[in-house]
Structure 1
């Protein structure tokens, strides 16, 4: 007899637990994700999770979601084996953590997940890193170092600041989760990020501005790069939660926006939209390049006149 859709979904989750792809404590796909993956209604996906919960396969964890429950009898979930002859090193731990954050987002990064990826017990990781905070610092240093500052700085304060900003943008572009762990108001003690700070103050060293203005220039430039980069991660999260691309989402707002503009409540905005005639795409890379040039243009008078 053919299984109903919700039972097939539940059976697939069980298989993934049995072969080690999902382990105790791991989050299982959400109702929305299951509905999207299987092409079923949300109610059907919810019914599958309800069946799994009733059988004790999964359990709801507050502020976490639905996770794989502890196996009956207390047996540990299977762990992916380490490849023969491959030793566990700090570099492998850090790279595994980066891979998880790149693929799934920083919120999905756990020590257990890293251990599973490298095929070891969670406690074994602590021989190489002091804990998650230590691991995150190592991750930051590793990804920023992928885009090193040049050994020979370009001539002039403006060229040097622009070089630093573009390299930081490249790091955020490659690793969008980075924006979540680098704070403007509570800066992390990252050696790689401090290289950019030293580079910036070296660029401003012989300019006539005072120390406070130098700090403002550096902080403003850093916050500009970070402020645009925030939207890379937000867009990725929006795509994951809705399944809609930016263009698809905007298409869904078209009727509502048309109604607003036709009411005449925002005539200036409406005129710009009419003038564009649909010929505008919000490209974050273009916005970054445009904004960086404008920002440096604006700073030129301050930096050079003092």
Structure 2
């Protein structure tokens, strides 16, 4: 009987760990790398990594990917209760799905992948969520509740807007996939998301704005934070796939590509700034920079001369 493709991948990676080719802390191939290298489907690549995790040979690290586990951290033969031994409920399904998306990215999320994480049959999940689309919405609502807003906004509008926008940024930072889920043109009806909308409208209320202007102001502020956050997941995935941080990638590929494009006399202002060598893109700094300017602009609307 032929060995299943996922088992062949497991055997190969297990061998590389046993021989020391892959050491504790080393990144193992991501699901996308396995798909490319082995010509298998996403489900097969996911099952291979899940099997290695169940064996204790690898572990998922948020923002890094899957790495070889330290031998001292690997489970002992004595069996401990498995997740599947516990009573399954909607909360556990959602939490498991969030963990998968946090460590492996939203493309890796599937009902089968979550079932594997919980050590249960895939069909058992459908007693608690209708489908993957509903699961993703439940995930979004759950993580938006993590940075709870105070019961009442402060009296100053600027402080009030900072509270909700920083809470949103913190949530995106912890769960980079969230920015890919939320929509401005077709907003999801989520209690936690509506709480942020209500908070912003309460902050803006009473400053002489009409209803349409208040909503546009809210959407502008929400879109600003989400607009920066959409870069988080692609950067995390790129770092997992290439094994290079942003700085390492810029040194190895970005800067040489720019040097080949920018010749003498072309783009002079850009060349002058680049020659200074002082700029280092940091998304947290970008968020803070833009937030200050956004709120300065709102001051003209809310505090007219």
Mapped pair 1:144 → 2:132: no
Aligned-partner Cα distance in 1 for 2:206–2:218: 15
Shift of 1:205: 1.2
Distance 1:150 1:68 in 2: 40
Aligned to 2:242: 242
Normalising by the residue count of structure 1, what TM-score does the alignment of the two structures yield?
0.75
Q: What residue is the counterpart of 2:98 in the other structure?
A: 98
Contact 2:172/2:178 (8 A) holds in 1: yes
Aligned-pair CA distance for 1:232: 1.0
Deviation of 1:139 (Å): 0.7
Structure 2, unaligned runs of 5 or more: 1-7, 16-27, 55-80
Shift of the alpha carbon at 1:304?
2.8
Q: Kindly tell me: are residues 68 and 257 of structure 1, through their superposed partners in 2, closer, same or farther at Cα, counting changes over 3 Å? A: closer
Question: 2:164–2:196: 8 Å Cα contact kept in structure 1?
Answer: yes
Q: Does 1:131 align with 2:131?
A: yes
**Residue equivalent to 1:303:** 302
Paired with 1:32 and 1:146, the residues of 2 have a C-alpha distance of 30
Q: Distance in 2 between matches of 1:273 and 1:219?
A: 34
**SS state at 1:160 partner:** helix
The answer as to whether partners of 2:225 and 2:287 remain within 8 angstroms in 1 is yes
Q: State the 1:240 CA deviation.
A: 2.1
From the superposition, tell whether residues 14 and 259 of structure 1 become closer, same or farther in structure 2 (CA, over 3 Å). Answer: closer
Cα 1:220–1:111 change in 2 (3 A) is: same
Tell me the matched-pair count. Answer: 255
Please give the residue correspondences for 1:244-259 in structure 2 after superposition, counting only pairs within 5 Å: 244-252=244-252, 253-259=254-260
User: In angstroms, what is the RMSD of aligned CA positions?
Assistant: 3.0
Cα gap change, 1:179 to 1:281, in 2 (>3 Å): same
1:220 has 2:220 as partner: yes
SS at match of 1:176: coil
1:149–1:164 CA contact under 8 A, matched in 2: yes
After superposition, the Cα gap between the structure-2 partners of 1:184 and 1:133, relative to the gap in structure 1 and judged at 3 Å, is: same
1:135 CA displacement? 1.2
User: 1:131 and 1:154 mapped to 2: Cα distance?
Assistant: 40
Task: Assess, with a 3 A threshold, how the Cα gap between structure 1 residues 66 and 11 changes in structure 2: closer, same or farther.
Answer: same
The 5-angstrom pairing of residues 39-78 of structure 1 reads 46=37, 49=38, 60-61=40-41, 64=42
TM-score normalized by the length of structure 2: 0.75
1:288 is matched with 287
Q: Secondary structure at the match of 1:206?
A: coil
Is 2:84–2:118's contact at 8 Å kept on the other side of the alignment? no
- SS of the residue corresponding to residue 230 of structure 2 reads helix
User: Is 1:263 the equivalent of 2:286?
Assistant: no
Unaligned runs of 5+ in 1: 1-7, 16-27, 36-44, 50-58, 70-76
Does the CA contact (< 8 Å) of 1:96 and 1:114 recur in 2? yes
Distance 1:120 1:84 in 2: 5
Check if 1:203 corresponds to 2:203.
yes
Question: Following the alignment from structure 2 to structure 1, what is the Cα–Cα distance between the partners of residues 299 and 270?
Answer: 31
1:33 deviates by 3.6
Secondary structure of 2:208 counterpart:
coil
Cα distance in 1, alignment partners of residues 301 and 159 from structure 2:
16
Relative to structure 1, the CA distance from residue 146 to residue 273 in structure 2 (aligned partners, 3 Å threshold; closer, same or farther) is same
- Counterparts in 2 of 1:85 and 1:30: CA distance versus 1, 3 Å: closer
Larger Rg: 1 or 2? 1
Counterpart contact for 1:30–1:66, Cα < 8 Å: no
